[in-house]
Amino acid sequence: MKGRVLIVAGSDSGGGAGIQADIKAVTAMDGFAATAITALTAQDTLGVHGVEPVTPAFITRQIEVVLADIGADALKTGMLHSAEVIDAVVAAFRKQAAGTPLVVDPVMIAKGGHQLLLADAEMALRDKLLPMATVLTPNLPEAEALAGFPVRVEADMVRAAERLAALGAKAVLVKGGHLEGERLVDLLFHDGKIDRFEGPRIPSRSTHGTGCTLASAIATGLAQNLSLYDSVVRARAYVRKAIESAPGFGRGHGPLNHAVTVRTDWR
């Protein structure tokens, strides 16, 4: 069931998020992960302690050689920290991967609060990358920043999804993990309709990298020719199991158990 996924994102030295989480998630979904690394981070479960950007030219080179040789059935973006990086990625995708399904995880703020997207990059992401997205996967703070209004209740999530789709994203999955309450709600806006996913909140500190993991699992589904809806359903089932069986590492927001599999029992 292999599907080739090219991930363009930053590295997490703690192994819970970023490229490390992406590779693990794609592999657990029985896909093949290739990467173009945009930045190195010194990171653990307590936060981000330093960032070393990769030059846009070298990011472009990574994308070019992977696509020219291995190819990709789906693309996934994570941490793209500057407008120059976003411009380079957009240009490379247009040149070599036009029409390939693209999952855009608009990584803006790390779990510990560290800003991962420079101010000038927000507009570039909204105006240039978002319109290329097969599906955009913002959490509530990211949806607020991109939509331009507060997203605090479920009705706001609907408005934000519709707004972001109007800006060009073909589909939008607004993740409701930041809402209060014992029930967790995610909303998928696609084809002019809303699909609502609800389940019990899992009480756990092991939630570092959930956004990266979910987006990469969705991208793998698209690479394997699953529908968007089925890709989201399977990815959500995977992330829930990965949180439930998390190893409990670290003193802060710990990593998931990326090795869990849902290949046969996710429907």
Exactly one of 38, 207, 213, 220 is catalytic; which is it? 207
Q: Does 41 participate in catalysis according to the annotation?
A: no
- Say which of 175, 213, 220, 254 is annotated catalytic: 175
CB atoms within 10 A of CB 235: 27
Write down the catalytic residue from 209, 213, 220, 221: 209
Name the catalytic one among 100, 210, 213, 220. 210
**95 assigned to active site:** no
Q: Which helix (H) or strand (E) holds 104?
A: strand 102-104
The answer to whether 38 touches 80, Cβ cutoff 8 Å, is yes
Six-digit token pair at 72?
């990709």
Burial label, 148 (beta-carbon count in 10 A; 0-12, 13-18, 19+): exposed
Treating both helix axes as pointing N-terminal to C-terminal, what angle do 18-28 and 210-223 enclose, rounded to 10 degrees?
Answer: 40
Respond yes or no: is residue 212 known to be catalytic. yes
Phi and psi, residue 177, nearest 5°: -60, -25
Active site residue 209: yes
Q: Supply 5's token pair.
A: 């996924």
d(CA 188, CA 207): 21
To the query of whether residue 207 is one of the catalytic residues in this protein, the response is: yes
Residue in 212, 220, 221, 241 annotated catalytic:
212
Per the residue annotation, which of 10, 78, 211, 254 is the catalytic one?
Answer: 211
Q: How many helices (H) and strands (E) does the chain have?
A: 8, 9
Q: CB within 8 A of 61, min separation 6: which ones?
A: none
Distance CA 61, CA 166 (A): 32
Query: Is 170 labeled as catalytic in the residue annotation?
Result: no
Q: Copy the structure tokens of residue 183.
A: 């029930």
- Write out the catalytic residue numbers: 175, 207, 209-212
